[in-house]
Structure 1
Amino acid sequence: TQKTVDGPSMKDWRGGRAASLNIIPSSTGAAKAVGKVLPALNGKLTGMSFRVPTVDVSVVDLTVRPEKAAIYDEIKKAIKEESEGKLKGILGYTEDDVVSTDFVGDNRSSIFDAKADL
């Protein structure tokens, strides 16, 4: 819950700032939740969220440090294959030039934006 105008927050000073005008860093339980669903990842993930003035949709900036060297094209290929296979309808994959409103109404849990790499 976030106030839409500046107002005091005893719990979180940043969270008391105007939601319609700011990008506000915040905590998230998502990384811990992943560890509960995928025990092999328990304790290996951290995360934070950003509260942004958008109607719907959120973003995850996932940074991965693989044990073995990996080429980004290979990672994209593996994610695309999974999005078309056993994770179809859950994980999406796109190489389109998308923005957040392109995902409003999308029922999938996550969409991998292949062009949003560094």
Structure 2
Amino acid sequence: MLALSLCGVVSALTACGGSSSNVSPGNVVIPPDGPTDPTDPTDPVEPPPSGGDEVASVIPANLNDCIIDSGETAAGKPVYVISVACLPGGALDPTGLRLGNDFIYRIEGGALRIARN
């Protein structure tokens, strides 16, 4: 009886792909093509040259109190602050607003939402 039990255990382990190796039958490991060593980083990506078309910002009168010049500059451009706390319900009504590339904008005072027209 012991021999029959042992034969059953061996048969079950063989059918399952082995004993404690945790390998299931049918799994095949294929090595990746090419080198597996990390490569040296490439040259850093250079930003595009400045120039090109400048798009002027248009800030409507109803947003003059909420979008203000911070007095700071970055990359040679003035930094404007969009104050979420100043906006009704924190929602920006974009009617008449155009954020161009002549200024840099920083959002302060919470998460900005855009009101739907």
TM-score greater than 0.5 by the shorter chain:
no
Band the TM-score falls in, shorter-chain normalisation = under 0.3
TM-score of the two chains, using structure 2 as the length reference: 0.21
Q: Higher RCO, 1 or 2 (CA under 8 Å, sep at least 6)?
A: 2
- Structure in which a larger fraction of residues adopt strand: 2
- Structure in which a larger fraction of residues adopt helix: 1
